[in-house]
Structure 1
Amino acid sequence: MSDVFITRQPLVNRQSRIIALRLRLHGASGDAARMLNALADVWPQGERPVFVACPDADGRLLDWNIPANATLEFPGAAFCDARAGELLAALHRQRPSLCLDYDEQAGEALAAGLAFRFIAYDAKSQTVAQLKTLAAKMQPYGIGVALNVDSEKAFKATLEAGMTAAASWFFKHPTSAPAKTLNPGQAHIIRVLNLVRKNADLREIEAALKQDVALSYKLLRYINSAGFGLSCEIQSFRHAVTILGYGKLNKWLSLLLATASKASMAPALMHTALTRARLMELLGDGLVDSQEHDNLFITGAFSLLDALLGVSMEHALEAMHLPQPISDALLGEGGLYAPFLDLAAACEGNDREALAEQAGMLGISAERLNRAQLSALAFAEAMEF
C-alpha cells in the first residue's frame, strides 16, 4: 500500500463554529480505502459531518467501511468517465451520504438519480452573484457549502449568497491591526499561569483564582471533560493539584488563556489550536522525553495565540515565563518543538509532498501521522469550549 496522507479543512458557519470537517486524501482510492479501514478505531465520532474528498474518486473508495457521519465528496466529472457505471452501481447499492462538487458535469450527476446531502461550490471560480444564483437554483438538491474561501470578506460574501458554511483556514490570519495590550481577563490568566509555572504556594494560587470565579469554573470544566479521561471528578483546585500535580495543571491552565479571546472567530480558532496541541503531543511519543510532551501540547495550544488574543505573538509571550523551546517555536526561531509545529501546520495545507517531507524529517510514517491527526480531532471534539 502506497502512502496516503490526510490533510484537513474545517467548515465554518456564520456563528464562527466548525460544523463539519473536510478530510482530503492524497493517494489512490484503493489505498485510501484500506488506510481508512485501518483507522476505524480513531475515527471522530458524533453527529458532526466529516467530508472525505479523494482526488482519484472512483468506486474503489467504497471498499471502505464508511462511518455513519462520513460524507463522500465527488466531482460531477466522476459520474461521466469510463468508470462511472461501476461507481454509480456501488453508490446506489451502499447509499452513503454524498456531497457533489459542482462543476460542468453536475447536471449529469444529478440526472443519475443519486441523492446528494450537500452541494459544494468553488468560491474562487464563481462570483458572489453566481453563487447566489446557484444556491437558489440548487437548493432542492442539497445543502450549499463553499470551498476555497481565502479571506474573511469572501467568507461573509459566500454566506450572504446562501451558503450554509465555508471550508477554509482564513480565520488563522486576522486582517485587523493587533492591539497593544492584553485585556484584563487575559492578563489575569497569565498571572495565574506564571504562579503555577514557578510552583508558587497553593494558597497564593487559590487566592488568584478566586479573583475570577468564571476562571475556576472553566478550569474544572476542562479537567473534567471527556477529553481528559479522568476516572474521578475533580471538585476543587486543591483536588486538581493533588491528582494532577503542577506540571499537568499548567497544561490545562494554558487552554484558559485562549478562551479569554474576544475574537469573532474564537470557536474555530480554539478547535484548531486544541487539535494542534493534541496532535503535537501524540507525535512526540518516542521522539522526545516524556517530560517534553506537555510542552509540545502547550506549543500547539499557543500557536494561534496572536489571532486569539488580538495581539502580536511577541507581545503575547513577553509577559509569560515559557520554556525557551516553546517561545522559539512560536516565534519561528526553530528549536526542539518547531518541526512538530511545522508538521501540525502542514496537515492544514494541501501539499502532499511538503507534508510527506516534513513527516519524513521526524521519521513519522503516513499511517502514524494520519492516526495521530484523527485522534487529535476526536480529542478536540470531546472538549467543551
Structure 2
Amino acid sequence: MTATAETAQPARASLELARQVILDDARTVFGYELAAGTEPARGEQIAELVSHALALCASKPLAERRVLFLHCGPEALDSEHLALADATRIVLRLSLPANPDAAQLAAGAARLAELRQKGFRFALPHDVLATAWHGWLAQADFLLLDVTRLPAPALAGVVKLARQHKPRLLACGVPDDACLRSLRQLGIDLFQGPFFSRPVPVPGQKMRPSQAAALQLLSLVRREADVGEIEALLKRDTALSFQLLRFINSGAFALQGEVTSLRSAVMVVGMHRMMRWSTLLLATAGDAPALGHHAIVRGRLMELLGAELLPPDQCDQAFVTGVFSLLDAMTGVPMKTALEGLGLPIAVTDALLDQKGVFEPFLSLAQACESGDAEAFARDADRLLLSGRQINMAHLQALAWAEDLLTR
C-alpha cells in the first residue's frame, strides 16, 4: 500500500505495551488487545508487537483459550514481520489509512484478501460500513463499534446495517454497565472498555459467602492462627478447599509432589505463603471471572516488577496489593469497608487507600499497562528505574502465568 498522511508518521523507538481485555456475553475473557499505549503499532513497533504475540502463544493455555488482537496501523499489511506470526492465533486490528484514493482502497482490499488466504483474520472499525470501504469490509472477521464515536441514537441503526454483513460485532470503549445492557439488547456479545473493572458500590451490599470465607482465611493467616483453626475453616467451605488445593498443585508454583490434604497444604506452603493463596481465592470467589482474572494479572505484574527492587516478602505484598486494588469492584463494597479487620501490612493499605508508599508506583505502572497511559508509563518507569523492555517482559509473563494458573 502507498503511505498516506496517517501511515507516514515516524515510529517511536520502542513500544510501551498496553493490554485491554475483551469480554464475551458471560463476562469471561474472550481475548486481549495488545497495542502501543493507546495508539496502533507503527513501523518497527509492529515487529515488536508480533514478537510479543509469539511469546504469549508459547503459553499453551493462553494460545488455546484466548484470541490476541494486535492493534496496528494499516502499514502492517505490508510488514515483512507478519511472516513470523502464527496467523491462526492472532487477529490484526487495523486502523484505516487517512483519505485514501480509489487505487489505494483497491490495493488494500486485495492485500487483505491475500492475507486471508494465508489464515489471517482482521478486525476493522465501523467506518468500513461506508460504501467506499466495502472491499475491506468483505475481508473483516470482526467489526469494531466504537461507542465513544457513535451517538447513542445512531447505534441501533449502525448495528442493523452491520448485521447485513458477516463480521462479528465487538463494542469498544464501553464505559459502564448501563451502556453494556443497551449493547446486549442490540445483540452484541463482545465488549471492550473500562466498564468491567470500575467499582460500583451498592448501598447495603454484602459480600458473597465465598468472598467472606476467603477474607476470613486471610485474616486467620495474617494473625498466624493455629493450623487446626485454618483447617477447620477450609473444611466448612468445600469449594474454597478444592480451589486452594487446585492452586497449590498448579504448574504456576513448582512444589515437590502433589498436596492432597488441607493440613498438608498449610504445612507445606507455610503461613507466609498462605497469604498469597488466600488472595488468589478471593479473586476467583465472585461471579465476575474476568475481573478476578484481571486482578490476578495485575498482582502478578506488580510482583514481577518488584522482583529486582524489593525483598521477597515485599514482592508477595506487591502481589496482594495488585489483586486487592480491585477488591471494591469484585465485591461491590467500598474499599475501606472491605479492608476492615484484615490487618494487612501498612504498606499495602497505604497504596490501596491513599495512593502512597512503596507499592504506589508499582500499582500506578501496572494500571498504565492496562490503560495505555504513555505519560504514566514513562513516569513510573523512571521512578522505578525500569526499562520498557523489562516492563513489557514482566507484562507478558504475568499474562501467561495467570492463564496457566486459572486453566488447571
* 1:70 maps to 2:90: yes
Match of 1:141, SS? Answer: coil
Indicate the residue corresponding to 1:80 in structure 2.
Answer: 100
For 2:134 and 2:245, locate their aligned partners in 1 and report how far apart those are by CA, in whole Å: 50
CA shift at 1:289, angstroms? 1.3
1:112 to 1:317, Cα distance in 2 relative to 1, 3 A: closer
Match for residue 149 of structure 2?
A: 125
Deviation of 1:137 after TM superposition, in Å, equals 2.8
1:192 to partner: Cα distance: 2.0
Q: Report the Cα offset of residue 293 of structure 1.
A: 1.4
2:333 aligned partner:
311
Amino acid in structure 1 at the alignment position of 2:331:
L
Q: Does 1:134 align with 2:158?
A: yes
Per-residue deviation at 1:80? 2.9
Unmatched tracts of structure 2, length 5 or more: 1-11
* Residue pair 1:150, 1:168 contacting (<8 A) in 2 also: yes
2:110 is aligned with 1:94: no
In structure 2, C-alpha distance between the alignment counterparts of 1:178 and 1:110, rounded to whole Å: 49
How has the CA–CA distance of structure 1 residues 79 and 367 changed in structure 2, closer, same or farther, with 3 Å as cutoff?
farther
In the aligned structure 1, how far is the partner of 2:254 from the partner of 2:49? 25
Shift of 1:274: 0.8
Does residue 373 of structure 2 align to residue 362 of structure 1? no
C-alpha distance 107-74 of structure 1, shift in aligned 2 (>3 A): farther
1:225 equivalenced with 2:241 (yes/no): no
1:376 maps onto 2:398 in alignment: yes
Task: Give the one of 315, 339, 342 matched to 1:320.
Answer: 342
- Tell me what 2:361 maps to: 339
Offset at residue 210 of structure 1 (A)? 1.4
C-alpha distance in structure 1 between counterparts of 2:329 and 2:401, whole Å: 22
Distance apart, 1:206 and its partner CA: 1.0
2-structure distance, mates of 1:91, 1:79: 18
CA contact (8 A) 2:34 2:49 kept: no
Aligned equivalents of 1:353, 1:239: Cα separation in 2? 47
* Deviation, structure 1 residue 357: 1.9
Q: Distance in 1 between matches of 2:187 and 2:194?
A: 20
Choose the corresponding residue for 2:322, options 297, 300, 309: 300
The AA in structure 2 aligned to 1:287 is: L
367-376 or 40-49: which moved more?
A: 40-49
Match of 1:285, SS state, is coil
Shift of 1:314: 0.8
Which residue is equivalent to 1:144?
169
Stretch of structure 1 that moved more, 195-204 or 152-161: 195-204
Of 105-114 and 41-50, more deviation after overlay is shown by 105-114
1:114 deviates by: 5.3
Deviations 1:154-206 (A, max 9, x none): 11112222322111111222344343654554333333222223332222211
The Cα shift of 1:306 comes to 0.9
Q: Percent identity?
A: 34
169 and 117 in structure 1: CA distance in 2 versus 1, 3 angstrom threshold: same
Q: Name the SS of the counterpart of 2:30 in structure 1.
A: strand
Is 1:29 the equivalent of 2:29?
A: no
Mapped to 2, the partners of 1:28 and 1:190 lie a distance apart of 41
Q: Letter of the aligned partner of 1:301 in structure 2? A: V
- Counterparts of 1:156-175 in structure 2, within 5 Å, are 156-175=181-200
- Higher alpha-carbon deviation: 144-153 or 253-262: 253-262
1:45 to 48, 63, 71: 63
Question: SS at the partner of 1:7?
Answer: strand
Aligned residue pairs, count: 382
**CA-atom RMSD in angstroms:** 2.7
| Greater shift in the superposed pair: 174-183 or 159-168 | 174-183
Q: CA deviation at 1:237?
A: 1.9
If the length of structure 1 is used for normalisation, what is the TM-score? 0.89
Mapped contact 1:11–1:19 kept (Cα < 8 A)? yes
Q: 1:301 aligns to what SS in structure 2?
A: helix
- Unaligned ranges ≥5, structure 1: none
